[in-house]
């Protein structure tokens, strides 16, 4: 009986000392996909009329939202991320007088959960989640109307990050968090759909590695 009472006391103490933290931030990131670089290179070579061709695909940026339940120095969390970018091209096709402007739109959404340890001005964390990336060729400014999703990549990945709190708000209203991270996919990407769309012989199916840094505003007492 005493053991049960002690357990209930500790459980109530832990719950009362825990608090809910909400993180909202901006995330620029860099990813590696050699297959996308091959697509941009082939697209530019196959369309010599381009005056401004596609660049290589490496950068995304977007929003980060996380909910943490802080218990002393440990916080379980769940989060959602959404990032996007556009890669533009333009030129005048042979036999046309109207300038054609298009772009490849890329977007990445991810949903994950994990644990974080934080003390004073430093923290470290990790988790596992699911992500989906879409790549769409779109052209609606010119003689052609194109809106085709040519590639979708999805899969499970692990994430690891460090947290730095350069200044803690004494009133416990909001705190700035700087958070470098790396995302490591568990499987290679499948480029078959893009290979068929662009009629390419071979595209590498390497892993969708991603590194970046989050600039976060977080509420609550640390």
Measured in whole angstroms, the distance separating CA 63 from the mean position of its chain's CA atoms is 8
Domain that holds residue 196: 20-84+111-130+158-218
Please say if the pLDDT value at position 184 is more than 90. yes
Q: What share of the chain in percent tops pLDDT 90? A: 59
* Per-residue model confidence as pLDDT tens digits over 62-86: 999 999 998 888 999 999 999 999 9
Q: 3-state SS of the chain? A: CHHHHHHHHHHHHHHHHCEEEEEEEEEEEEEECHHHHHHHHHHHHHCCCEEECCCCCCEEEEEEEEEEEEECCEEEEEEEEEEEEEEEEEECCCCCCCCEEEEEEEEEEEEEEEEEEEECCEEEEEEEEEEEEEEEEEEEECCCCEEEEEEEEEEEEEEEEEEECCCCCCCCCCEEEEEEEEEEECCCCCCHHHHHHCCCCCCCCCCCEEEEEEEEEECCCC
Residue 93 falls inside a structural domain: no
Model pLDDT, residue 204: 67
Residue 10 falls inside a structural domain: no
Residue 193 falls inside a structural domain: yes
Model pLDDT, residue 218: 86
Binning pLDDT at 50, 70 and 90, where does residue 172 land? low
Q: What share of the chain in percent tops pLDDT 70? A: 86
> How many structural domains are present in the chain?
1
On average, the pLDDT of the chain sits at 86
Residue 71 falls inside a structural domain: yes
| Average pLDDT value for residue range 87-101 | 93
Please say if the pLDDT value at position 3 is more than 90. no
Residue 138 falls inside a structural domain: no
Residue 91 falls inside a structural domain: no
39 neighbors 203 (Cβ within 8 angstroms): yes
Please say if the pLDDT value at position 33 is more than 90. no
Please say if the pLDDT value at position 12 is more than 70. no
Residue 163 falls inside a structural domain: yes
Model pLDDT, residue 170: 60
Q: What are phi and psi of 127, to 5 degrees?
A: -170, 180
| Nearest alpha carbon to residue 144 among 96, 104, 106, 105 | 96
| Average pLDDT value for residue range 132-158 | 92
């Amino acid at each position: 009986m005493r053991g049960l009472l002690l357990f209930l006391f500790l459980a109530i103490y832990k719950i009362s000392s825990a608090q809910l933290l909400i993180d909202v931030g901006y995330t620029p990131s860099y990813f590696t996909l050699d297959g996308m670089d091959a697509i941009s290179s082939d697209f530019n070579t196959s369309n010599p009329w381009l005056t401004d061709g596609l660049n290589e695909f490496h950068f995304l940026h977007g929003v980060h939202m996380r909910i943490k339940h802080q218990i002393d120095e440990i916080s379980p969390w769940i989060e959602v991320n959404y990032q996007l970018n556009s890669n533009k091209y333009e030129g005048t096709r042979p036999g046309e007088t109207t300038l054609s402007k298009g772009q490849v739109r890329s977007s990445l959404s991810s949903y994950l959960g994990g644990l974080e340890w934080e003390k004073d001005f430093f923290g470290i964390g990790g988790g596992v989640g699911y992500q989906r990336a879409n790549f769409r060729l779109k052209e609606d400014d010119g003689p052609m109307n194109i809106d085709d999703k040519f590639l979708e990549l999805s899969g499970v990945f692990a994430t690891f990050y460090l947290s730095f709190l350069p200044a803690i708000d004494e009133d416990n209203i909001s705190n700035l968090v700087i958070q470098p991270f790396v995302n490591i996919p568990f499987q290679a990407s499948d480029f078959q759909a893009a290979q068929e769309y662009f009629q390419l012989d071979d595209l590498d199916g390497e892993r969708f590695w991603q590194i970046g840094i989050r600039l976060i505003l977080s509420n609550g007492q640390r």
